[in-house]
Amino acid sequence: MSAAPPRRRFALALAALAALCVTPPPARAADAGFARFVASVWPDAQKAGVSRAAFEAQTRGLEPDYKLPDLLLPGRPATGAPAQAEFVQVPADYVKEASIARLAAEGRKLMRQHRATLGAIEARFGVPGSVILAIWGRETDYGRYRLPYDALRVVATQAYVGRRKEQFREEFILALKLLSDGVVARKDFRSSWAGATGLTQFLPSELYKHGVDFDGDGRVNIWTSVPDALASAAQQLVNKGWRRGVRWAYEVRPPADADCTLGTPEVTRPIGEWLRAGFAPARGERLSAAERAEPASLLQPEGSHGPAFLTTKNYFVIKEYNFSDLYVLFVGHLADRMAGGPPFATKWSASTQLRSRDVEAMQRHLTRLGFYRDKIDGKAGMLTRAALGAFQKSAGLTVDCWPSAAVLRAMQAVR
């Protein structure tokens, strides 16, 4: 074999020298750290009842998924939570009539198919079957949506490098316990990017707190047993304060001088008092004395522009299932439609929604100016909208409690 030309030999020597100086890939070092983290979990997993054999079997070859959102990775930009539809879509797009109508029609078929089960659930827990079906429909399209992630890998990754490490460390341990106890097989243990699993989307800790064996086969199975999944969802709502016989909300028409800054959970009045202040049932229905006595808060998802609602305790119970106002509107309205209710009486009007980073900037300005004391999370919920309205009042602007680019510019101009 002939010798390489001098220029080629020089290039090869440089390449060899460079190879000696290359730092090991960050992923390899990070994976070693992940392995140490997993090993560190064993003592607490053992205390929770996880067998050593199950721990070894389930963690052998387990690798983190660094493509998940909401991670804090050294040397990399923060991934942040994904742009969840609940927080970035305008209501008309999220609570889309076509989607509601389709799910309501399918839900009515399921109400007939599971009539006995739903009746037994309502008798035991006091939660209407339509509400439980609506949660199932919103979460997994009545089980048609295949969850994309390996649940154990998700909770392990979030426990290792997520923004809520302590919370997910517990979820990781309980996920191992589910597998160790034989509650679910690994191949069926699929989840969302945030670790929620099953037909009605529970974290492992929620399953241990609220899971119900409603079909009587000796185990809680929210993955393939419709009775268990629906009863477990009902139990979770009850454990969070569900009140039997109380509607989730009433759509109303506000008076012309309605103050949108009152739309916070802290401002609670009997429905009758709201009615005396000029709020009227949107379709003119008459409310009973018991309904008029029910405490309620004002909700205006589009500020002063779109539909308005008087929300009861049960609204906020559903909100603990998912913190988004639009999620609760979707579930509550879908449940009403299954039961034969009409579409919203007032049309949605907003056509644009600020990006999460702009809402976050707005929250920072509102905090700086003394109007806001809650989380800086880029989500324009009830407290953010009310604080925004208070700023508009102070600045002499039109008060509509709706985040817009114009209002953000006005805040930025205040020093």
Encode pLDDT of 278-294 as tens digits.
Answer: 999 999 999 999 999 99
Gap between the Cα atoms of 410 and 397, Å rounded: 9
Predicted confidence (pLDDT) per residue in 184-229, tens digit: 999 999 999 999 999 999 999 999 999 999 999 999 999 999 999 9
Q: What is the pLDDT of residues 217-239, one digit of tens each?
A: 999 999 999 999 999 999 999 99
Task: Provide the pLDDT for residue 77.
Answer: 59
CATH superfamily name and code, 356-413: PGBD-like superfamily/PGBD (1.10.101.10)
> What pLDDT is attached to residue 21?
37
pLDDT tens figures, 310-335 = 999 999 999 999 988 999 999 999 99
Identify whether the C-beta of residue 248 lies closer than 8 Å to the C-beta of residue 312. yes
Residue 78 pLDDT: 56
User: What gap in Å lies between CA 99 and CA 326, rounded to an integer?
Assistant: 14
The secondary structure of residue 33, as a DSSP letter, is H
Listed in sequence order, the DSSP H helices in 162-267 are 165-180, 204-210, 226-239
Summarize the confidence of residues 368-388 as an average pLDDT. Answer: 93
CB 180 within 8 A of CB 50: yes
Give this prediction's pTM: 0.88
CA–CA separation, 32 vs 66, rounded Å? 14
The confidence band for 374, taking pLDDT boundaries of 50, 70 and 90, is very high
Could you tell me the residue ranges of all domains in the chain?
27-63+151-188, 249-311, 356-413
Q: What is the pLDDT of residues 32-79, one digit of tens each?
A: 999 999 999 999 999 999 999 999 999 999 999 999 988 988 766 555
What would the two tokens of residue 44 be? 């607490």
Per-residue model confidence (pLDDT) at position 371? 97
Mean per-residue pLDDT, 246-252: 98
149 phi/psi in degrees, rounded to 5: -115, 155
Nearest to 131 by CA among 332, 320, 343, 341: 332
**Contact partners, residue 110, CB within 8 Å, separation at least 6:** 133, 142
